[in-house]
């Protein structure tokens, strides 16, 4: 072949290879952008679950459904032990249930030189490719789950590794790659944030609830004290705005019926009085409670008793 012909061949081949590289680069970009987008959506859906326990129960499945992993396991780190909490399998949900039961039989020890221990301590993500580092991978985990390789990442809340997330693609005959690690890491970060906020919200609610109980206990106790004590003139006529202290027994009756959504006429019938009387009572209730509407009166009543 002539030199010119060779050059032309080489140039054509080069053009084709460049076109192919471009396609591959584009495909890689689309795959990565798409994978990360799906992770964000999954985290957002987790955020719509209110309770911390609900989030943990959903967490493995949500990642499984939003990624190319075949299996996802979520474990809780307690001291130097790992307690598997949830296992999701895209191929075989029944198998996952059985495997989880087997895994939960006894916790896994997080100790040197296992990969799990390192991931928990250093709060990072690792790609484990069996069989090479099998010595460092957990033997029992590998036996139960029979994986070729997996990604493991730490769930970090307020600087502590509170859990580990394992994921693999063994059923698809695939070893985890850098993108799998990125997906798992991003998801773990999102999950940790969602979980932390849910826990804080729950704590705050619990705190309020307990304070309310304490106040109720105390006011019941004070009630007893007041009846026993000589001074019974303390009750003042007009209470604080928003409370029902100032309401008469009749007004309380009206407020109760009003909260049930009854109209003035219905209340009048129930209490066997004229509608005009009810209007008069409602007006006084609103004034004494500083409420702007009937709904507001109900709302104020509840708020004063928080």
Partner 1 sequence: MKLDDELERRLTDQVARARELLELPAQPETDLDELRALIAALRDRLPATELGGSIEEQESALERLRQRFEARFEALDRVQAAIAELREVTSPREMLLRAPAVLCAGSSFERAFLSLVKGGRMVAEAAHFAGDERAAVTVLAELQANPLRLEHPLIETELLRRRRATIVVDANVHPRVDREVARLMGWRSYAAAPLVVGSQVVGVIHADRGAGQSLDVLDRDVLWEFATGLAQAYESSVLRRTLRDERDQMREFLEWQRARSSELTDAPVTLAAGGHAPLPPPVPPPATAGWVGAENRRDDRVVFEGLLTRRELDVLRLLAEGATNHQVADALVISSGTVKFHVGSILRKLHAANRAEAVTRYLRLMGMRVP
Restricting to residues 32-71, which ones interact with partner 1 according to CB under 8 A? 32-33, 36, 48-51, 54
Does residue 119 sit in helix, strand or coil?
helix
What is the CA angle 230-233-238, rounded to 5?
Answer: 155
Residue from 224, 227, 233, 293 that binds partner 1 (CB under 8 A)? Answer: 293
- Smaller CB distance to partner 1: residue 23 or 80? 23
Does 215 participate in binding partner 1 (rule CB under 8 A)?
A: no
**127 forms bridges with which residues in the sheet?**
151
Does 160 participate in binding partner 1 (rule CB under 8 A)?
A: no
Does 305 participate in binding partner 1 (rule CB under 8 A)?
A: yes
d(CA 187, CA 63) in angstroms, rounded, equals 7
Q: What's the gap between Cα 149 and its chain centre?
A: 28
Please check whether residue 137 is in contact with residue 128, taking contact to mean a CB–CB distance below 8 angstroms: yes
d(CA 49, CA 47) in angstroms, rounded, equals 5
Beta-strand relationship, 149-157 and 108-109: unpaired
Residue from 65, 171, 259, 273 that binds partner 1 (CB under 8 A)? Answer: 259
Strands lying side by side in the sheet with 160-168: 108-109, 81-89, 71-78, 160-168, 149-157, 125-129
Does 131 participate in binding partner 1 (rule CB under 8 A)?
A: no
Residue from 131, 146, 261, 276 that binds partner 1 (CB under 8 A)? Answer: 261
Residue from 104, 122, 221, 256 that binds partner 1 (CB under 8 A)? Answer: 256
Does 26 participate in binding partner 1 (rule CB under 8 A)?
A: yes
Which region, judged by CB under 8 A, interacts with partner 1, from 22-30, 73-81, 101-109, 142-150? 22-30
Please check whether residue 100 is in contact with residue 84, taking contact to mean a CB–CB distance below 8 angstroms: yes
Residue from 98, 106, 211, 215 that binds partner 1 (CB under 8 A)? Answer: 211
Which region, judged by CB under 8 A, interacts with partner 1, from 86-94, 95-103, 110-118, 249-257? 249-257
Does 220 participate in binding partner 1 (rule CB under 8 A)?
A: no
């Amino acid at each position: 072949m002539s030199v010119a012909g060779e050059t032309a061949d080489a140039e054509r081949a080069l053009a084709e290879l460049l076109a192919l590289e471009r396609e591959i680069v584009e495909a890689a970009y689309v795959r990565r952008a798409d994978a990360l987008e799906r992770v964000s959506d999954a985290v957002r859906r987790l955020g719509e679950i209110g309770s911390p326990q609900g989030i943990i129960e959903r967490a493995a499945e949500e990642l499984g459904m939003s990624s190319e992993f075949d299996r996802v396991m979520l474990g809780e780190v307690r001291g130097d032990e790992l307690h598997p909490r949830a296992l999701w399998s895209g191929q075989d949900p029944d198998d996952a249930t059985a495997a989880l039961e087997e895994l939960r039989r006894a916790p896994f020890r997080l100790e040197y030189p296992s990969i799990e221990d390192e991931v928990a301590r250093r709060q990072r993500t690792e790609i484990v490719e069996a069989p090479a580092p099998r010595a460092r991978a957990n033997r029992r985990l590998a036996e139960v789950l029979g994986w070729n390789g997996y990604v493991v990442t730490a769930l970090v809340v307020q600087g502590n590794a509170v859990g580990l997330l394992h994921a693999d693609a063994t059923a698809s005959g695939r070893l985890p790659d850098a993108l799998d690690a990125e997906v798992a890491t991003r998801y773990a970060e999102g999950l940790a944030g969602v979980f932390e906020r849910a826990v804080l919200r729950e704590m705050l609610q619990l705190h309020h609830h307990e304070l309310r109980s304490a106040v109720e206990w105390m006011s019941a106790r004070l009630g007893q004290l007041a009846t026993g004590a000589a001074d019974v003139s303390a009750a003042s006529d007009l209470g604080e705005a928003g409370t029902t202290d100032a309401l008469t027994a009749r007004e309380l009756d009206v407020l109760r019926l009003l909260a049930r959504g009854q109209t003035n006429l219905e209340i009048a019938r129930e209490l066997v009085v004229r509608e005009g009387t009810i209007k008069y009572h409602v007006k006084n209730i609103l004034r004494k409670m500083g409420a702007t509407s009937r709904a507001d009166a109900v709302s104020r009543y509840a708020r004063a008793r928080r």
